[in-house]
Amino acid sequence: MAESAVPKVPRDGTLVIKDGTTPTANEYTVQYSDAVSITDTQTAAIHIYNRGTRVYTRQGNTAIPTISFNVIFTAWTDGTDGSIIDAMKGEGAFSSWTKVLTNVEHFNTTAVFTTEGTDFGDDVDGTATCTGLRLVDTSFSEGEPNTLTINCEILGTITYTGGP
């Protein structure tokens, strides 16, 4: 498949948060999201030096990738319909959600970021699926509009599929 001829912009993406329920996961489509950022950090390097000259490099600790995204703030919590914070914590309307990775003590979810491609002549839409999201922090900012930034560690894997 050829690389897309159409640059992608924020309006081309969607973000869905899923839990670990099988066979069909519960889902929450993040409304008013913008600026999804996935940092696919690689394994650390240990550089071996002999009198100031690098002579060898070994693999270090496995790195922990991250994902962050901004949303227009709508609610801290909502016991009926849920909010993004509820989904990331498994609380409120999402208290029945199950974590994705059972070998992780923290509640964790999956994020599926889809970039539209077929509408622009690409063979398929592109996806980045991040499993095992552990909420690290949220950052609220008052403005026009109010915004919320969600920062997570990816304790599982990042899987890329399809188009650009």
Number of domains in the chain: 1
Percent pLDDT > 70 in the chain is 98
Determine the average pLDDT of the residues in 144-151: 93
Helix (H) or strand (E) holding 39: strand 33-39
The C-alpha atoms of residue 76 and residue 117 are separated, in whole angstroms, by 33
Q: What is the pLDDT of residue 135?
A: 97
Residue 146 lies in a domain: yes
Identity of residue 142: E
The C-alpha atoms of residue 59 and residue 45 are separated, in whole angstroms, by 5
Q: What are 12-71's pLDDT values in tens digits?
A: 788 999 999 999 999 999 987 777 888 988 888 999 999 999 999 999 999 999 999 999
Residue 5 lies in a domain: no
Three-class DSSP category at 56: strand
Residue 1 lies in a domain: no
- φ and ψ of 85, to 5 deg: -65, -40
Residue 62 lies in a domain: yes
Whether the pLDDT of residue 3 is over 90: the answer is: no
Residue 3 lies in a domain: no
Q: Which residue reads 């016991």 in tokens?
A: 79
> Domain containing 39 — which CATH number?
2.30.110
Determine the average pLDDT of the residues in 114-122: 83
Q: What is the pLDDT of residue 1?
A: 58
Q: What is the pLDDT of residue 42?
A: 85
By residue range, what is the domain housing residue 51?
10-161
